[in-house]
Amino acid sequence: MGYKVTKTDDEWREELGDDRFRVLRQAGTERAWTGELLDEHRAGLYTCAACGAELFKSGTKFDSGCGWPSFYDSVNPDAVELIEDRSLGMVRTEVRCANCGGHLGHVFDDGFGTPTGLRYCMNSLSLGFQAQGEGADAAAGAES
């Protein structure tokens, strides 16, 4: 896929710092239960930490008990790119930012009780958060 935002690894590393670079650009994973956005409950909009693209509305976030922020739907179907991931000896679906290709996490079809049946299990390091009222885009996109 051709991404709208493209940079060299050196540019990304300088911009993101080591931890975010490892997750977003090298498909790393932060440790469960350590992410700063896991317990974020304010109304707002979750964005890509690399490029700022809108990804998830706070109203789609739910407590899945998995140790990472979980959502049952993206802000729109074009916001994320889904890619088959056969690493670690299993088949999963990787979720990337459709704007810059940053690794966000994985999506699973075990989100029982959610309207979509999906569980987008995202790394906090991959996400930014804009509380409702802190910006025009957040206020317009944050529906609970």
pTM over the 0.85 mark: yes
List of the chain residues with pLDDT < 70: 1, 135-144
CATH 2.170.150.20 fits 9-141, yes or no: yes
CB 127 within 8 A of CB 140: no
Sign of the Cα pseudo-torsion (74, 106, 116, 77, in order): positive
Helix (H, G, I), strand (E, B) or coil at 106: strand
Percent of the residues in the chain that have a pLDDT greater than 90, as a whole number: 82
Distance CA 47, CA 12 (A): 17
Break the chain into its structural domains and give their ranges.
9-141
pLDDT at 134 (0 to 100): 77
Sign of the Cα pseudo-torsion (132, 136, 137, 142, in order): positive
Active site residues: 121
